[in-house]
Copies of this chain bind each other. A is one copy, B any other.
Amino acid sequence: MVNTQLINPKSIVVVGGSDNIQKPGGKILKNILDGGYQGNLYVTNLKSESVQGIKTFADVTDLPEGIDMAVIAVAAQFCPKTVDVLAKQKGTKAFIIISAGFSEENEQGADYEQQIVKTINEVNGCLIGPNCIGVLTTHHNSVFTTPIPPLEKEGADFISGSGATAVFIMEAGVSKGLKFNSVYSVGNSAQMGVEEVLEYLDETFDPNESSRIKLLYLESINKPAKLLKHASSLIRKGCKIAAVKAGTSEAGSRAASSHTGALASSDVAVDALFRKAGIVRCYGREELADVAAVFMAKELKGENIAVITHAGGPAVMLTDILSEGGLKVPSIDGAKAEELLNKLFSGSSVSNPIDFLATGTAEHLGFIIDACENDFDHIDGMAVIFGSPGLFPINEVYAVLDEKMRTCKKPIYPVLPSVVNAKGAIDEFLAKGNFGFSDEVNFGKAISKVYQTPIPQPIIKDEQNVDVKRIRNIIDQQSDGYVAPDVVQSLLDAANIPRVKEFVSNQLEELLELVKIVGYPVVMKVVGPVHKSDVGGVVLNVESDEQMTDEFHRLMKIEDAEAVMIQPMLSGLELFVGAKFEPGFGHVILCGLGGIFVEVLQDVSSGLAPLSQSEALTMIRNLKGYKLLQGVRGKEGVDEHVLADVVERVSRLLECSPEIKEMDINPLLGKGKKIVAVDARIRIEK
């Protein structure tokens, strides 16, 4: 577990600190010094008596007792001994090992790594790395890289599975004015991985003190359940989380694996996990930084954006992308709009986009923002696009923007396109602690992405008559493999999933009695052969005793025929619900429409169990064929709530049956409020 010694150490030793700031050991010491670290700083170095103005110790054994944290930059082979001395003799509880040459390199290195973790665990300490760039907190700059972004408690907590990528993300971030509260590069994650750091941030979350923005860069998800638990917990506490999970494609996974040695998680499961947790999923560094900048704005409480500009083109492009992303750029009119228009130069427009022309002034911008804040109640947020053709400085305009961003309750998103002409003004604006976007379309994509990621809903367990005890009884009696049809039926019954009435018999007389319960027309299927259709073993629309008698005799003559099953002949929309167990993630539940929708269009929604009613509904509504469920062309659809009930019951069934590794209800026939499972398969692996 991350501890306070790592976050706010009273004393730090840099093991292997040097004067050469082109090497990690020298640079990390320089960064700590430049950051104005307030505690006691020690350095060990074999050769020099002092480095960077600090008297050195030749060996860690020479150090005084009671050193909170160690930054280690010596070769891997010396690390186990160093850690041992510090942990056991000097009371050190936090370790950052930046050296490489451990498990990522060879077996010897993996052995060093294990020894170190064992030692640190024994003293209940914490380890970041090895093979990482270090840690940044508001108390110390223990990274060997630059840039060191502004560190403030309103900034983002950033945890990265890759050191170089962390650097590049910070570089992308600082140019947008992104601030940080902490940065953790977990390297080999020998003891603390991304998940453990997130756990710490969750468990120590203080609504008054903690940052509300978390950024993650992941190449593998080693502990999906832990990630889900703490990400969704933090988001429920009011945090916002955005993450890149690299390695989505097959080729990309290969790249990620060769890079980190990690096994690629199924991307569908990753996606389902992120959606369940409420994590905004990003696919690149720039995108992550743009989303993080959106997070830094005040809370957007609705979907209506005023686009404020002095240049038409970018406003049009932004309006396009916002509309596409589900946000609105609503018309603005009425007396207050007229009043505003009168304050602007002739030719301006306030109908939204609000265009105050190339000649528009800082004062005009103030009028417009005030009107959006106070007069236009339906406006929830403002995007202000202001650049410069290079004629004169625009610092005054940005000063108004700065002031309004501070004072307005509605969020303001500045788009500052003149990265060349207004570079000075932009730098000044960002230096005041603001953020800004250089491209309106990238901003529009980022805010849409945030808007489209719902926060996780609490799971309300409606018992729904799911008989957990009976399910467990049945599962406990099963051995590995596909479960027998009658057992599948019992499980569906126990989970209260409606299924088609069906009867099996090898006696014609019995079937002729049973058909009275089912009612004509019926379907007859041979029992025994695996591929029933291929051997002519399925007869649809049997309408009379006479026809049933003929078909019974024909079916029983098929090779391997043991009996005949009858089911009512049902009509309705073909649906399916399925699930697959993904190690670490748990059950990924899939649902959709049958036929061409799944076969041709791959129209499948996925969600991570356990699913709430609202999650199941979202899955259903995300289907491309959703309109068919609503009913088209006068055809009756399927009640989405009843289908969501079925999905939720499947989730409940799986929740108490981790032994189910695969499950398929296909088809599931639906008509209005009536949905019944026609066929189902369940595979168990204990």
The chain A residues found within 8 Å of chain B, CB to CB, are: 21-24, 27, 104-105, 133, 144-147, 161-165, 167-168, 170-172, 174-175, 217, 219, 244, 246-252, 254-256, 258-260, 283-287, 307, 310-317, 319-324, 328-329, 346-347, 349, 351, 353, 355, 358, 387, 389-392, 417-421, 438-442, 596, 599-601, 624-625, 627-628, 632-633
Q: Which 5 residue pairs spanning A and B have beta carbons closest together?
A: A284-B441, A165-B313, A146-B390, A259-B312, A164-B311
**CB atoms of A255 and B312 under 8 A apart:** yes
Within the complex, the shortest CB–CB distance from A539 to chain B, in Å, comes to 19
Q: Can you identify 28 A-B contacts, CB atoms within 8 angstroms?
A: A104-B347, A162-B311, A164-B387, A164-B389, A165-B311, A165-B313, A168-B311, A168-B313, A168-B417, A171-B418, A171-B419, A171-B420, A172-B439, A219-B312, A246-B320, A247-B316, A248-B320, A250-B323, A251-B319, A252-B317, A252-B320, A255-B316, A255-B353, A256-B312, A258-B349, A258-B355, A259-B313, A601-B625
Cβ–Cβ < 8 Å partners of A321 in chain B: 283-284
Cβ–Cβ < 8 Å partners of A260 in chain B: 312
Copies in the complex: 2
Q: What is the CA–CA distance of A163 and B390 in the complex, to the nearest angstrom? A: 12
By beta carbon, the residue of chain B nearest A148 is: B390
By beta carbon, the residue of chain B nearest A218 is: B313
Give which listed residue, B145, B285, B624, contacts A601 with CB less than 8 A: B624
**CB atoms of A355 and B259 under 8 A apart:** yes
**CB atoms of A391 and B171 under 8 A apart:** no
Q: What is the CA–CA distance of A627 and B633 in the complex, to the nearest angstrom? A: 24
**CB atoms of A249 and B320 under 8 A apart:** yes
Give which listed residue, B392, B439, B596, contacts A284 with CB less than 8 A: B439
Give which listed residue, B164, B421, B440, contacts A146 with CB less than 8 A: B421
**CB atoms of B284 and A249 under 8 A apart:** no
Q: What is the CA–CA distance of A254 and B316 in the complex, to the nearest angstrom? A: 8
Cβ–Cβ < 8 Å partners of A632 in chain B: 596, 599-600
**CB atoms of B319 and A249 under 8 A apart:** yes
Q: What is the CA–CA distance of A244 and B163 in the complex, to the nearest angstrom? A: 37
Cβ–Cβ < 8 Å partners of A311 in chain B: 162, 164-165, 168
**CB atoms of B312 and A164 under 8 A apart:** yes
Cβ–Cβ < 8 Å partners of A418 in chain B: 167-168, 171
Cβ–Cβ < 8 Å partners of A329 in chain B: 251, 255
**CB atoms of B390 and A147 under 8 A apart:** yes
Cβ–Cβ < 8 Å partners of A624 in chain B: 600-601
Most B-side CB within 10 Å, residue of A217, A328, A387, A390: A390
Q: A329-B251, A391-B22, A391-B24 given as contacts; is B171 within 8 A of A219 (CB)?
A: no
By beta carbon, the residue of chain B nearest A387 is: B168
